[in-house]
Each structure stands twice: as C-alpha cells, then as structure tokens.
C-alpha cells in the first residue's frame, strides 16, 4: 500500500518535471524564432543593398551566396538564443523547485 502511494507520488513528480521541461523548450523555440526573424531582417537589408551597390559584391555575391549569408546568420541567432533561453528557464525552474523542497 505504501509503495503504491510512493509510486503515485513519483509519477506526479515526473509529470510535473515533464511539463516544466516542455514549457522550457517551448519558450526557447519562441525566443529563437523571434531572434531569427530579427536577424534575417537585419542581415538581408545590408546584404542585398551591398550586392546592388558595391562593385566587388556585385561581382562576387550571386543570389545563392546572399541567401547563404542571410540563412547562416538566422540559424545561428535561432540556436544561440534558444539555447540560452532553455538554459535560463531550466536554471530558474531548478531554483524554484529547490526552494519549494525546503
């Protein structure tokens, strides 16, 4: 009987940890998406403008290179911000659960 109650308590704790992890990853995805959108706009405008105005860029940056520059910056922004957000949220949650245990 006591073991059954302990199993239920551990399952409830596991469900709570799973929901915290899911929320943590969702926050990371949203923050990363926002950062990627901002980085795309901030990179695309100067890249396209320089490819049209500067002679060296006009000769050497074809549309594929321009797209590669923009997508690389957007991808880096997404993963960096998502990772930092997930880690910050996980740290905040770990401190909150540690405080509630005492």
Give the model's pLDDT for residue 20.
Answer: 82
Give the model's pLDDT for residue 14.
Answer: 78
Give the model's pLDDT for residue 2.
Answer: 53
> Is residue 72's pLDDT more than 60?
yes
Distance of alpha carbon 97 from alpha carbon 102, whole angstroms: 9
Give the model's pLDDT for residue 12.
Answer: 66
Give the model's pLDDT for residue 21.
Answer: 83
**Residue 99's pLDDT band (cuts 50, 70, 90):** low
Query: 31, 39, 37, 35: which is closest to 69 by C-alpha?
Result: 39
Give the model's pLDDT for residue 74.
Answer: 97
> Is residue 97's pLDDT more than 70?
no
Which residues are CB-contacts of 47 (< 8 A; sequence separation ≥ 6)? Answer: 61, 66, 69, 70
Give the model's pLDDT for residue 23.
Answer: 87
């Amino acid at each position: 009987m006591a073991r059954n109650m302990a199993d239920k308590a551990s399952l409830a704790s596991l469900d709570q940890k799973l929901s915290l992890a899911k929320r943590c990853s969702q926050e990371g995805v949203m923050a990363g998406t926002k950062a990627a959108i901002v980085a795309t706009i901030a990179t695309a405008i100067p890249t396209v403008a320089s490819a049209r105005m500067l002679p060296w860029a006009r000769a050497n940056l074809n549309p594929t290179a321009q797209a590669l520059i923009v997508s690389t910056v957007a991808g880096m922004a997404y993963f960096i911000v998502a990772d930092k957000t997930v880690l910050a949220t996980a740290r905040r949650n770990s401190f909150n659960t540690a405080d509630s245990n005492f």
